[in-house]
Structure 1
């Protein structure tokens, strides 16, 4: 296999040194250069032609967001953002993913971290995955498709007799994919939506607020014990599993911190498996872009335990990373695959 050439961009000399040493420890990764700000990064991107760029969010002269927008518009390259865990850092990181960044890594102790060794394996893994990511812009569909979304939404005039719950799992590239899906759901959607997006604590609340500001449905970070409401999207809090429990005749959120599954908490498998206990509910299970296979075991249990599970995966064409959808498709239990821009329409067909 070819070496992966990486350009490390950070305004801190200490961070440039630490990140470079970490990445160079992997036999396939070679840091070909460093840059101290966005302007410096754009010049070195042209001369060094890296396969992946690690990009600090907060920098002087030209910050990470400006730099990323320029790169993705003029000369696309896989980018992994390196962010602080502050509220502003979380919001900027989500914007970066919308602009085209493949993924992000958080600095454990703020802007200049003495604890970066804690995320050594994570940043190496994300750089390796970014080198294989699909960074092409998703195909823009014609106005007829947009009209199809509107027509389908208008058809939802009354609740179906069977209770429905929409459950979505995603990881790398997920915030962008969720934006495509959630913002196309109608305000009177006759079902609640549960979302597991692999993210650390501090980022899922910003994701929920961002999607809520763009969507007709209500979007919030899930809270333990709240009753599921139609037309509301519940995003699993970072660091907590999101499951469903029944209280009398209603269904409620249950969040907990039991053991991580496949290294993930929240886990798509755990969410899907909790829904398998309710055969009277039709679950519309959606697996979108992400590395690994989270969601596959849960989908198998859902399909085995209830006759009322309809499974949709995102197509390879629109995925940033096709790992999670591919693993689900290999079970032969997926009912259909759809481009990310059509997934909301496919969901609404179930009504």
Structure 2
């Protein structure tokens, strides 16, 4: 084995999943599977002995469930973890909990014809493991320690404010689940409409919206209609199977769903959302690019900036994966580079002016 290869420990009680993941990962250049554990207790001993760079972790296992194991792991020995979850509502909710605890990413396990369907997402599995190996897992604990949520029923924006900002747009990918939450919990009520693209499958976006809605004073919805008026004090999460665009018509913003082809390999894509805003009152909006791998969002953010929008990117230290924000910064299309714990406050200040 090459010392430079990514060392992966597979933790799963299913012999089928073990074999498939082993075949997929060992066939990829730059990855070595150093061990396979059938349950978390076995995994705990193997981590000490094998010192893996990345763990793939199932959720439902004997002796200890994956969530409990992950919580202990992130408290005692933080390291990159990619969850193995099912494409069900229950699977989505548990996966989101795992991402909030500190898992870097997840692999959505097909519900049927497991062997063939899992092989079809070989490239995705390999990509996510390689991204996880470069992730900044220490920032999870730092960001949570610095969180200062708005007290429920507390401050709200002055309805007589002079700010011309009447739309906020946020894009994120890997690490974005927790990052988006950390931004939104700092926002007061009566904010302008907030539109968000987070890279995740359909079904997961509904669960994500529900979790945020139960946490915030803002009303959070999955955007799952062809066209809808965007209201103040509302957050709209793009459906995991549709692009989301924004248009301004007759004095109001409207969200538009699109079934067009993926952009930057993503659907929904941040670039699609940001580019649509650039065509409609960009000078009254703020675009925010959070943690994520790749370059989605940089081009659209540049269009927004050229049309007069305020543009913000998350800094490297607070990002799980500093990819999307880095590209935007390097292209010179970012007005403000801020740590995660300052972005929500900055948005509030801009809307209070």
TM-score w.r.t. structure 1 length? 0.93
**Matches of 1:106 and 1:234, distance apart in 2:** 23
Give 2:65's aligned residue. 63
The 3-state SS of whatever aligns with 2:182 is helix
Q: CA contact under 8 A between 1:185 and 1:216: conserved in structure 2?
A: no
How many residues are matched? Answer: 346
Matched, 1:323 2:323: yes
Give 2:127's aligned residue. 125
Matched, 1:195 2:199: no
Q: CA deviation at 1:161?
A: 6.1
The 3-state SS of whatever aligns with 1:61 is coil
Q: CA contact under 8 A between 1:97 and 1:176: conserved in structure 2?
A: yes
Q: CA deviation at 1:262?
A: 0.7
The 3-state SS of whatever aligns with 2:32 is strand
Structure 2 spans left out of the alignment, 5+ residues: none
Q: CA deviation at 1:62?
A: 0.8
Q: Tell me: CA distance 1:280–1:95, structure 2 relative to 1, closer, same or farther (3 Å).
A: closer
Q: Tell me: CA distance 1:161–1:319, structure 2 relative to 1, closer, same or farther (3 Å).
A: closer
**Matches of 1:280 and 1:31, distance apart in 2:** 48
Matched, 1:217 2:218: yes
RMSD of the alignment, in Å?
A: 2.2
Give 1:98's aligned residue. 100
Q: CA deviation at 1:148?
A: 9.7
TM-score w.r.t. structure 2 length? 0.92
Q: Tell me: CA distance 1:172–1:335, structure 2 relative to 1, closer, same or farther (3 Å).
A: same
Q: CA contact under 8 A between 1:86 and 1:110: conserved in structure 2?
A: no
Give 1:34's aligned residue. 36
Structure 1 spans left out of the alignment, 5+ residues: none
The 3-state SS of whatever aligns with 2:227 is coil
Q: Tell me: CA distance 1:149–1:350, structure 2 relative to 1, closer, same or farther (3 Å).
A: farther
Give 1:12's aligned residue. 14
**Matches of 1:327 and 1:35, distance apart in 2:** 38
For 2:142, which of 139, 148, 164 is the aligned residue? 139
Q: CA deviation at 1:149?
A: 9.5
**Matches of 2:276 and 2:310, distance apart in 1:** 16
Q: Tell me: CA distance 1:111–1:42, structure 2 relative to 1, closer, same or farther (3 Å).
A: farther
Q: Tell me: CA distance 1:345–1:56, structure 2 relative to 1, closer, same or farther (3 Å).
A: same
